[in-house]
Chain A
Amino acid sequence: MLRYALRRILWSIPTLIATSLVLFFVTTLAPDPASPEGTRDALAPSRDPRVEEARRARFLDLPRFINPDPHDVRSRAAWAASHVGAGDSEQDIAAAELRRLGGAALPSVLPQLEALPPDARGRLAVALGPVAERMGLASADDLADPEAAALFWTRFWDDRALDFTRAAIERTVSRLVEHGSDLREEDLVRLDTFALPAVVSAMSTTSDRLTLSRLTRIARHVSERGPTLEIDAAAGETRRAVADWREWWFVHATDFVTIDGADRAVAVVTETRYGKWLRRAAGGELGISATDGEPILDKLRARAPVTVMVCSVSLFLSWALAVPIGAYGAWRQRRTFDVVSSVVMFLLYATPTFVLAELLRRAAAALSIGGARVALAIVALAAASLATSSRWQRTAMLEVMRQDFVRTAVAKGVPAWRVAVQHALRNALAPTVTLAGLHLPALVGGAFIVEDVFRLPGVGFETLRAIEAHDSAWLMAVVLATAVAVTMGLVVTDVAYGALDPRVREELVRRQGGRAA
């Protein structure tokens, strides 16, 4: 049984991924209120750095699901180099882009420098000037002359090409982490942004304050952004700074690393908006609400208890009433109680939850029963599930009562109430449990309605506000959260069904081809 439950839970993972795929597609259909306009060439950065940053942070430069040609530092550098070399209208942006890419772009730009025509070579070499300045190798004035700059970069590559390898920077960074010294820090600055992958990953593995302050200093120097840490920084500040760097790296990693071989095949899926979203969601980061800027997860945590409480209380309330009503109705089939309860339950079954809730609210207002909103919400929600469960219970009970063992028990002279409870009802309970599972989605939908009608500050109430505000991050998170909750509920009811009914248990175990666990 345990094995079956585990298998069900594992199987729900692909199910949830499929669900999130569909939902993600729907959410991307909506215009994002925070998204800047205009997405031209995916490689061309926007002229306004703030717009560009917003675009990148929301991954709007990436395709939705499949990225056939993921961009890395090589393709970005090639784009920038070609525009600088050609000296066209995009020249300024391209030069700024080269400066941003920095040292990481050098391995793909410098080897081709020789092959370019002289004027293109000169322009490119001058455009790379700020990088050399950042590395502390030359001043911008030294490299203002195209000839001199080209000569500088050719010599530079002849001398330093060997330092620009993944293995070399990892060695240098690990040495810095082990025994930090200013000289080693300077070595890393000389490599400019090429050192970033190792530097950022070292940030999350080390906890030494001195090392962290050195690492953040290097990162800030080469990327020209982000927080640095002093040696005497508080623990919270350290955590925030490292989180900031990791977040920045999560968005911008492809600007500074090359994607080759197997990584490229993986990047086809991961370097997409969906891939990025899923990676974050798996880590519990569901994004920021567009309405009030609060993290979605905190908001969900604050709102969920109300919804869970309303749902579970009304579910148990409805069961507590439905089982006796349905069972007794079946036992006294076609008697007064059965007829009356059947008619009432049928009417209740056909009444929409929102009509019932609204009527209850008005009745309460007319009788001036104040402050009982939660109770009324629970009653309204319970009424709907009461109708379904009691009808189901009645059918199940009738089914069992037709069977031979009940007749045998009666014939043997077992008292009627014992036959009803011990023989019939016990067997008729199991189907009602399965219904509870099927009922869960409807229950959640109903909870959203009653929360709205009675103004309860639960998930549903918040969701309806989010719908007005087109807050796609919240909506996506809510649908996924309900899907997870309902899936888990279904697993629980399945397992409970098996626990109640040995026949079902055997069937389940046989299907998985193992022994009962």
Chain B
Amino acid sequence: MSGERRISDAPDGSVAIDLSRRKDAWRREAVRESLHEVGNVAAPYVTMTRIAIAQLSRSRLARLGAVVLASLALVAVFADLLASELPIACRWNGVVYVLPNVTHPAALADATCAREAKARWPGDWTLAPLVARGPTETAEDDEILRPPLTRGHPLGTDALGRDVFARLVHGTRTALGLGMAASLALVAIGVLLGGIAGFVGGVLDSIVTRAVESLTAIPTLVLVLVVVALVPHPTTATLLWTIALTRWTDLARLVRAEVLLTLGTDYVTAARALGASPSRVLGRHVLPNAIGPAIVAATFGIASVVLVEAAVDFLRVGSPDTMASWGEALGEARANAGAWWLMVFPGAALLVTLIALNLVGEAARDALDPKLRGVGEELTEGMRG
């Protein structure tokens, strides 16, 4: 082994291992050599990630959930192609526009070319989206509360004449976009603070622990409702930050426990004895253990954010009316008891999303860390309300 070169006799006769110079170089070399041997002679190189992916793909329910989520993500990304007041491409007044529903050119601001049957200029043509309605487009009195399968409105319209399909499709974007953004933010905060609390300890640990306790005691839904009501101009970002800044606590607690557990293991002691710096211990040995909880928390986090967002909008204090959201659509259903389609479609969309997220989350939990079994309830518990 090349490492032997670094062992030298010190003047007092003891043997010292010189780790100061090129310590990483020889270590990496050694690892590469051994891996080479394993790769050639023995079994293929197995990592935790590969095991997790293999386990995940074995679960049929997880695959189902993943497929559903992927399709929802596609719907969210291509929402403008599915429902928009502007066409996908058109020639209007002699000018050709490509994807005006994404770019929103000023020239087409008040044009209704997507659903206008006859072109004004000879040679004009339009390639209309699936439903030629925007999510915020209201309509005249004769188009309100139309049942599904009305001409031009496959899923009907609500009390303001807005197309339910368009709001559903664009609501997917709101729900998943907000869910992913907030969940990423809360995972970042949770891992950071939990890691610091566990690794540094002392006063910082006490502060984080207190903060976790304080925030755990406040029901998320109540807090979000209050903050959205009190902040002068609430936007989706307000919702996002309120959730992210209060819901990191469960993950932080898990990460902290995981860090404390890891710090007590023999391999960390060994790494320290070999002279590994605190940052190396943290980066190589401690934090990788927190990846499992973080991924699981991220998945359940999306579910809980979707849930909270829908609940807040349902209670009619949510994002401004320009935003399409499932919760808001369900709130509409409350006011119009006869219009079953206002209840069924957004409700089904919400339910399917939540079920898919929970399926994937649970499979991820089982695959990544058997220790975390049962933690899903704990993670989502605080967020559900």
> Interface of A with B (CB < 8 Å)?
11-12, 14-16, 18-19, 22-23, 26-27, 29-31, 346-347, 349-355, 358-359, 362, 365, 384, 388, 391-392, 395-396, 399, 431, 435, 438-439, 441-446, 448-449, 452-453, 463-464, 466-468, 470, 472, 475, 478-479, 482-484, 486-487, 490
Contact = CB atoms under 8 A, between A and B. Distances in A.
B88 to A, nearest CB: 34
A439 B227 CA distance: 22
Contact of A15 (B210, B351, B355): B210
Q: Which 8 pairs from chain A and chain B are nearest by CB? A: A445-B385, A445-B221, A442-B385, A30-B230, A467-B229, A445-B219, A441-B219, A395-B374
Nearest to A476: B226
Interface stretch (B71-79, B161-169, B330-338): B330-338
Given A362-B337, A435-B378, A464-B315, A470 B229 contact: yes
B146 to A, nearest CB: 20
B218 A486 contact: yes
Nearest to A485: B217
Contacts of A452: 315
Given A26-B230, A27-B230, A463-B222, A355 B347 contact: yes
Nearest to B221: A445
A285 B330 CA distance: 38
B307 A438 contact: no
Given A27-B230, A482-B222, A18 B210 contact: yes
Contacts of A26: 226-227, 230-231
B350 to A, nearest CB: 6
Contacts of B215: 19
Given A29-B232, A448-B219, A464-B315, 14 more contacts: A15-B214, A19-B217, A23-B226, A26-B231, A354-B314, A388-B381, A388-B384, A435-B377, A435-B378, A441-B381, A466-B229, A482-B219, A483-B217, A487-B217
A467 B381 CA distance: 25
B225 A463 contact: yes
B311 A15 contact: no
Contacts of B333: 358
B211 interface: yes
8 contacts: A18-B214, A358-B334, A392-B374, A438-B378, A445-B220, A464-B225, A470-B230, A479-B222
The binding surface of chain A is classed by DSSP as helix
Nearest to A471: B229
A487 B218 CA distance: 9
How many B residues touch the partner, as a band? 35 or more
Given A391-B377, A444-B219, A482-B222, A30 B231 contact: yes
B311 A449 contact: yes
B217 A441 contact: yes
Nearest to B213: A15
B175 to A, nearest CB: 12
B218 A350 contact: no
Contacts of B368: none
Contacts of B307: 352
The binding surface of chain B is classed by DSSP as helix
B236 interface: no
Interface in B336-356: 337, 343, 347, 350-351, 354-355
Interface in B135-167: none
Interface of B: 210-211, 213-223, 225-227, 229-232, 303, 307, 310-311, 314-315, 317, 327, 330, 333-334, 337, 343, 347, 350-351, 354-355, 358, 373-374, 377-378, 381-385
Contact of A441 (B216, B232, B330, B378): B216
A438 B382 contact: yes
A19 B214 contact: yes
B217 A30 contact: no
Contact of B384 (A29, A391, A399, A445): A445
A392 B377 contact: yes
Contacts of A441: 216-220, 381-382, 385
A468 B230 CA distance: 10
Contacts of A19: 214-215, 217-218
B222 A351 contact: no
Given A14-B210, A15-B213, A442-B219, A354 B226 contact: no
Given A15-B210, A30-B230, A478-B222, A439 B381 contact: yes
Contacts of A15: 210, 213-214, 217
Contacts of A448: 219, 221-222, 225
B124 to A, nearest CB: 45
Contacts of A355: 330, 347, 350-351
Contacts of A358: 330, 333-334, 343
A354 B343 CA distance: 12
A354 B217 contact: no
Contacts of A483: 214, 217-218
A466 B373 CA distance: 41
Contacts of B310: 352, 354
A385 B220 CA distance: 16
Nearest to A439: B381
A446 B308 CA distance: 11
Nearest to A475: B226
A515 B227 CA distance: 44
A412 B173 CA distance: 59
B384 A442 contact: yes
A460 to B, nearest CB: 8
A295 B19 CA distance: 70
Contacts of A464: 225, 315, 317
Contacts of B384: 353, 384, 388, 442, 445-446
Given A26-B230, A395-B373, A442-B381, A482 B218 contact: yes
B65 to A, nearest CB: 11
B41 to A, nearest CB: 37
Contacts of B218: 19, 441, 479, 482-483, 486
B222 A16 contact: no
Contacts of A439: 381
A345 to B, nearest CB: 11
B213 A12 contact: yes
Contacts of B229: 30, 466-468, 470, 475
A229 B225 CA distance: 46
